[in-house]
Amino acid sequence: MTSEMDAFGVALDAFTMHLRPSELRAVAAGLGEFDSSDEGNLLTLVEAVRALPVNDRAALWELAVRRYGRRKPLEQAAGEIGMDAIRGRALLQAFESAIAAVPPPEDSPSLE
């Protein structure tokens, strides 16, 4: 059994970023369902963030929460975190590619 903190933790060099379940759910809803279960969607998003380069993970997550979770236009979402829209678009495309590359979470440990 894996704890939620472990399951939703993403390494950032010497630190760990813990993704909030509420933010994960909001981003998943903004992206549309891509798995068969709520838990699977959340784990897929976490694995996709982990697949990105370490230096991109925190900025991508802040952008994804604003763009998909809060449904803000890309330019506004990127601007709120001091990023230009071109960089924001590239990060979101990398994130979407990472999501598509995550294997189905059937074999992942459960959070229950």
Q: Give the mean pLDDT of 94-108.
A: 83
- The span from the CA of 96 to the CA of 90, in Å, is 10
Domain ranges of the chain: 4-104
- The span from the CA of 80 to the CA of 22, in Å, is 20
104 confidence band (pLDDT: 50, 70, 90) = confident
Q: What is the pTM of this model?
A: 0.84
Look over the chain and give the mean of its residue pLDDT values, rounded to a whole number.
88
Q: Give the mean pLDDT of 17-43.
A: 87
Instruction: List phi, psi (to 5°) of 69.
Output: -70, -40
3-state secondary structure of 27: helix
Straight-line distance from the first to the last Cα atom of the chain, in angstroms, rounded to the nearest whole number = 7
Pick from 90, 19, 6: nearest CA to 58: 19
Q: Give the mean pLDDT of 44-59.
A: 95
